[in-house]
Structure 1
Amino acid sequence: MAAGAAVAAVAAATAAVPTVSKSAPELVSPAGPTPRGALPLSSIDKTAAVRVSVDFIQVFPPSPAAGGSVDDQDAAVAKMRDGFARALVPYYPVAGRIAEPAPGDVVVDCTGEGVWFVEAAASCSLADVNNLERPLLIAKEHLLPRPPPEEKLEDLILMAQVTKFTCGGFAVGICFSHLVFDGQGAAQFLKAAGDMARELPAPSVAPVWDRDAIPDPPKPPPRGPPPSFTAFNFVTQVVEVSPESIARIKDDFKASTGQTCSTFDAVTAVVFKCRAVAVALPDDAEVRLGFAASTRHLLTGVLPTVDGYYGNCVYPVGITRSSSAMREAALAEVVGVMREAKEALTVRFADWLRGGAKDDHYNVPLDYGTVTVSDWSRVGFNEVDYGFGEPGYVFTLNDDVNIVASVIYLRPPAPKRGIRLMLRCVEEPHAAAFADELAKFA
């Protein structure tokens, strides 16, 4: 190859690599005056959550509402920023910082500082990077907001980054504190920011704090040593479960039991059984499944009003069986076990609120036998509209989770339907067998 042609080829290859240019993070402060002072977190916030951040991406395809020119995109981002500023007035705690005035006493300090907001521009279209499907063709660090070095990430409540693509589409990266929100609560705030960006007179859901209304029951004495932490080398896998497959599992369960089951019951039963078969632990070893069940409906009468409450409203549900029992169980039997565990939630949560729980249900062994499930398909991130339509796809970035096997349920990118499983729950020696087992149901 001639020297000139070689240089041209290198230049073309370099130009094809997508880049993202970011602005420096800027504070978006509340658009009006807000109260100051410390607000308590609830006992559920402090028990169920930890002082860590949750990262996810919303992918917005080009839409007529946003227009396609650079000026149109800039105007859409300006309205989005304004939406955050206006939403931070009623949701003023989000503009504050997490503080620890005394050891173990974590509060929200309503400082009114605001949330960090980053604007960015990609050198490519969404199609050029496969619409941000896995494997990501843009490093996640380029899509997520991070604060300036003088700020501690664990003190922040929420940050946002909007990345413009040449096609007119956007990616919005969100980082929120799980100590202050659960998924539904974070989605409620983002919907409010969208409402304000679209110039609604007020958020469609008025926020409710009232964290001190939730009782602070005494913790049961620990039984046995605290959970140990082992770093695993989990493989990331993505599996689609079609609506037809889900319907078939539900129909089979109804045919054998005369009862109905939810999509969550059906899909989680498949995951639990298939993983037990794939990892093939010794017959007498325990296999466990855990998930955080919503308790908002159980806080009626505890909170002044449940509508608008955006704190953590979850309680752990766990299932434990022997490895051999789970491998040999019929799928309908596993679905039934799922339903029984969920039906026991009301009694167990009420017992916990009264301080009558005999076990610390948040203390779960974190060995290879445990898998956790999170359902992100229904919490509301897919319904957020900042002024350029609802996202075509929302996905989490949990690739750094390596101490517990995890499964996250997502909605697949539009126009697909069904459930997308984002899996980080087996190591390489079991990955092929796990995929083969799941394929029997997907």
Structure 2
Amino acid sequence: MESTVRRTRRSYVRPAADTPSGSLELSAIDRDVGLRHMVRSLHVFRHWHEAGRLRGEEGSRSPASVVREALGKALVDYYTFAGRLVDGPQGPASARVECTGDGAWFVEAIAACSLEDVACLDHHPLAIPAEDLLPDAAPGVHPLDIPLMMQVTEFTCGGFVVGLSSSHTLTDGLGAGQFIIAVGDYARGLPKPRVSPIWARELVPSPPKLHLPQPPPDPPTFNFRYLIVDLSFDGVNRVKSQFLASTGQRCSSFDVAVAKVWQARTRSLRLPDPSSCVTLCFFANARHLLPKDGAGAAGFYGNCFYPVTLTAESGAVERADVAGVVGMVRDAKERLAAEFARWAAGELEDDPYALWWRHEPLFVSDWRQLGFLEADFGWGAPSHVAPLATLRFMPVALIVTPPKPRTGVRITTQCMEEEHMPAFREEMKAFEE
């Protein structure tokens, strides 16, 4: 379907009140050059006329105007999002935040169709190009120097889509979710966010310089294809029962999902040597490992994750049942605290965050608990949130919640090239058999 989106207004949204100025230093994780990219996502809200909870004068306001005003209020608390990222003497590896108050880039748009006309953006390829639902470039600023860009597109049915583009240098997924919830809090008339943000980058360890492999001068890129698969709760619970029966231990839906997609990818690659190694990397929240108790880290919105890696022989991953691969995943999760402590002390030989420059691991991220589904601008929570994976040098799998009213676990993958897609599709399909 040809795009029917028309952008009607573009501007910077500045903080609604005075904010601090000056420079803020980023943490050792923030400054990882592999994080110097924008994380993009589409947040789909259906039937706001019918589901609206705003009353009186507020009830007649459009989503774009409500979100715009709330964003200005949230930028007072999260004033770093209204600043600019600036490279230091060593380039991106020494970047900092200049608190300029210049504002976040905000775009308003309308679509000449209903969300139902475009299947509520629930299929790939999307019936409307993602680029039309995301904010276009802000003038006069390098795209990677502006921490936050947002577009609100209103549809004829009364639904709307928030296209979000945020800098991974400034925040991880949990931090981005915390911020968008704060915008929703203001949109619904709360006097302040339910969670107050803290900068506190000093909480994150700054280990001695570890060996950092240099990225290749001409890093390979791949034409990874999209595949979206929904795992039913029945299928997930079946694997959980098998794991419990064989080990006496419980496992999570994440464990099952990541084990299945890693095994399916490994089998589909059909590596000729069963002793060749395959690697899985998933990103674990490390806030509870900061050198303060959990309450001390509440409100922290910087990067605080650890890349948990697991390497095994391809033959072992292929031969095991899914419950067996779950055991491998859980063993890796149990090493998180010890490995984070070793990284913090500078005891590791290589920087674990340098995985960005390797193309052989499968990278998995879980979006279900980031808070995006709790963001309510006054018309209820989104029906679904669609992350957009666009890093052509990294095979990725993103675990999300399926659009309502569906249940289960959705895996959005961009990790296989065309020649391996038929086998990968069949391997993922076999989960329900």
How much has 1:262 moved relative to structure 2? 1.0
How much has 1:48 moved relative to structure 2? 7.7
- 1: CA distance between counterparts of 2:299 and 2:79? 14
Q: Which residue is equivalent to 1:342?
A: 333
Q: Which residue is equivalent to 1:196?
A: 186
- Which aligned pairs between 1:306-317 and structure 2 lie closer than 5 A? 306-317=297-308
After TM superposition, the runs of 4+ consecutive aligned structure 1 residues lying more than 6 A away are: none
For the residue of structure 2 that corresponds to 1:401, the secondary structure is: coil
CA deviation profile, 1:34-68 (whole Å, cap 9, x unmatched): 11000111112113852111110000001335489
What TM-score do you get using the length of structure 1 for normalisation? 0.91
Counterpart of 2:140, as a letter, is: E
- 2: CA distance between counterparts of 1:294 and 1:253? 24
Q: Does 1:82 align with 2:69?
A: yes
How much has 1:370 moved relative to structure 2? 2.0
Q: Which residue is equivalent to 1:412?
A: 402
Counterpart of 2:73, as a letter, is: R
Q: Which residue is equivalent to 1:276?
A: 266
Query: Quick check: 1:282–1:324 contact (8 Å CA) kept in 2?
Result: no
Cα 1:350–1:396 change in 2 (3 A) is same
What percentage of aligned pairs have identical amino acids? 42
Query: Quick check: 1:67–1:168 contact (8 Å CA) kept in 2?
Result: no
For the residue of structure 1 that corresponds to 2:150, the secondary structure is: strand
- 2: CA distance between counterparts of 1:103 and 1:124? 48
Q: Does 1:113 align with 2:88?
A: no
Query: Quick check: 1:55–1:175 contact (8 Å CA) kept in 2?
Result: yes
Q: Which residue is equivalent to 1:425?
A: 415
How much has 1:139 moved relative to structure 2? 1.2
Cα 1:303–1:94 change in 2 (3 A) is farther
How much has 1:378 moved relative to structure 2? 1.5
Query: Quick check: 1:315–1:349 contact (8 Å CA) kept in 2?
Result: yes
Q: Which residue is equivalent to 1:59?
A: 44
How much has 1:216 moved relative to structure 2? 1.3
Q: Which of 98, 120, 137 lines up with 2:85 in the alignment? A: 98
- Which aligned pairs between 1:15-414 and structure 2 lie closer than 5 A? 17-47=2-32, 49-63=34-48, 64-66=50-52, 74-104=61-91, 105-133=94-122, 134-222=124-212, 226=215, 229-283=219-273, 284-301=275-292, 305-364=296-355, 369-398=360-389, 400-414=390-404
Cα 1:425–1:203 change in 2 (3 A) is same
Cα 1:48–1:332 change in 2 (3 A) is farther
For the residue of structure 2 that corresponds to 1:246, the secondary structure is: helix
How much has 1:281 moved relative to structure 2? 0.9
CA deviation profile, 1:162-216 (whole Å, cap 9, x unmatched): 0000000000000000000101101101110110111101100000001133231
For the residue of structure 2 that corresponds to 1:403, the secondary structure is: coil
- 2: CA distance between counterparts of 1:189 and 1:113? 18
Question: What root-mean-square deviation, in Å, do the aligned CA atoms of Structure 1 and Structure 2 show?
Answer: 2.1
Q: Which residue is equivalent to 1:7?
A: none
Counterpart of 1:260, as a letter, is: R
Aligned length: 423
For the residue of structure 2 that corresponds to 1:155, the secondary structure is: coil
Query: Quick check: 2:64–2:153 contact (8 Å CA) kept in 1?
Result: no
Cα 1:135–1:200 change in 2 (3 A) is same
What TM-score do you get using the length of structure 2 for normalisation? 0.93
- 2: CA distance between counterparts of 1:74 and 1:18? 25
How much has 1:219 moved relative to structure 2? 2.4
How much has 1:344 moved relative to structure 2? 0.4
Cα 1:125–1:214 change in 2 (3 A) is same
Query: Quick check: 2:63–2:154 contact (8 Å CA) kept in 1?
Result: no
Query: Quick check: 2:3–2:129 contact (8 Å CA) kept in 1?
Result: no
- 2: CA distance between counterparts of 1:389 and 1:378? 17
- 2: CA distance between counterparts of 1:387 and 1:257? 46
Q: Which residue is equivalent to 1:13?
A: none
CA deviation profile, 1:252-291 (whole Å, cap 9, x unmatched): 1111111111111111111111111111112232211111
Counterpart of 1:268, as a letter, is: V
Query: Quick check: 1:213–1:302 contact (8 Å CA) kept in 2?
Result: no
